[in-house]
Amino acid sequence: MNVKKNVLEWGRRTYVMGVLNLTPDSFSGDGILRDRNPIKYALEKAEQFFEDGTDILDIGAESSRPGSKPISAAVELERLLPILKALKQQNVRGIISIDTYKAEVARQCLENGADWINDIWGLKKDANLASVISQYDAPVILMHNLSKTSAVESNKRLGASYQGADYSNFMEVIINDLLKSVSLALRAGISEENIILDPGIGFGKTVEQNLALINRLDEIKALGYPILIGPSRKSFLGRILDLPVEERLEGTAASIAVGIARGADIVRVHDVKYMARIVKVTDALTRQS
């Protein structure tokens, strides 16, 4: 997979994706729009992320936290484009990924220098998204997601979480659903080498199902595509540790280490500095050959 000057060699090492939230209501409490000067803050945070070991910057302007309300493409672009343009003007290093499921948002961001699209709905929310991605020959992350906005559990201390969906056969359903997303991508002309799969940790899955998903990641890896996982600060860790979102560093680290051992190629994280160190050590242990 070639992305401008960035060449990712799958299997050689694990790549780190840092999360840049351009939202006022991020579940992890790190929404950049809370700052008085969001563009300046975003540039500084992005630069720090890359210094700390980020390979890919994932920028999202619509919250996917349990209980969040959708926003229009116009509002999403109003948040995204000024910061995307500022990042490109600063010639920021690394890959820029846009976390969106809307075709028009993807089109304008790819037109303004974004490299990847990260779709939490696996091309199933907007029928035009796949063709836009194909047109720009961009890589896409296809996530499994059966979460429902109406199926949310609230906990004052631990925060909200999506209720688990009804699975007849847990791994079989996830694999088949991911393959449907792959089929949508291929039919639209997206090349196989531009497809990355995300099993959707935390989206429509119980604590036990999230644990099983990480432990059985090798079954998804067998499909032949690079795998991204995003357990960072998720509610299932809060339930296990009985800790609020800001105290889930160690739980995130453990999940990432096991995920890499089971075949993850990219880890999507909030705490880049510490997780990049976890990745390096885990790679040294698991990729010795």
User: With helix as H, strand as E and coil as C, how does 159-196 read?
Assistant: CCEECCCCCCCHHHHHHHHHHHHHHHHHHCCCCHHHEE
Check residue 97 and give left, alpha or beta (phi > 0: left; psi -120 to 50: alpha): beta
Which of the 8 DSSP states describes residue 82? H
Q: Where are the alpha helices (DSSP H) in the chain?
A: 38-52, 73-89, 103-111, 129-135, 170-187, 207-215, 217-221, 235-241, 249-261, 272-286
Query: Dihedral angle at the C-alpha atoms of 270, 85, 22, 165, nearest 10 degrees?
Result: -70
**Which member of 268, 273, 277, 287 is catalytic?**
268
**Which member of 45, 65, 205, 234 is catalytic?**
234
Contact yes or no for 259/229 (Cβ under 8 A): yes
Active site residue 216: no
Q: Compute the half-sphere exposure of residue 215: CA atoms within 13 Å on the CB side of its CA.
A: 7
Active site residue 107: no
Q: Which residues are catalytic?
A: 234, 268
